[in-house]
Amino acid sequence: MKAKVSGGVGRFAYEGLDRVIHERARLSALTCLITNPKGLIFNDLKQLCSLTDGNLSRHLRVLETEGMVQIVKGHDRNRPQTICRITSTGRKRYLDYLSTLEQVVKDAAKGTKAESAFTLSSGLTPSQV
């Protein structure tokens, strides 16, 4: 049984899975920032994402270069403080990424249901290797 393939991009190519966002640490940071639109203090973000200073700094630099986050350095009671915020570009790219990810989940769920129906209707079970 062959799947229909239309011209252009393959049905399951998922071009919307943004490689910048798809990395676990950056996905965690963006998820934290989108749920905190006023931004987060660097140390709070670090704790929420379970990352080290250096690791979070590196990933934030990538996101900042892409225009997805804004890093504001300042002082609070004479102590240096870094605030991280998601930008409008970051918000749009993140939401587009989530839409594509939702499609991946829907496609996988359909495949799982189809496999179950095939197994039940044919009386066959997958071989154990």
Average pLDDT by stretches of 10, the chain with 129 residues: 55 82 96 96 98 97 98 91 97 95 90 61 60
How many angstroms separate the CA atoms of 44 and 29, rounded?
A: 11
Query: For residue 47, what pLDDT is reported?
Result: 98
CB 39 within 8 A of CB 83: yes
Closest of 108, 103, 106, 21 to residue 66, by C-alpha: 21
CB 18 within 8 A of CB 67: no
Query: For residue 15, what pLDDT is reported?
Result: 80
Beta bridge partners of 69: 86
Give the class (CATH, top level) of 19-106.
mainly alpha
Task: Give residue limits of the domains in the chain.
Answer: 19-106
Say which residues have a Cβ less than 8 Å from residue 41's Cβ, sequence separation at least 6. Answer: 81, 82, 83, 84
Report residue 108 as tokens.
Answer: 């996988």
Q: What is the DSSP letter of 12?
A: T
- Residue matched to tokens 């252009």: 8
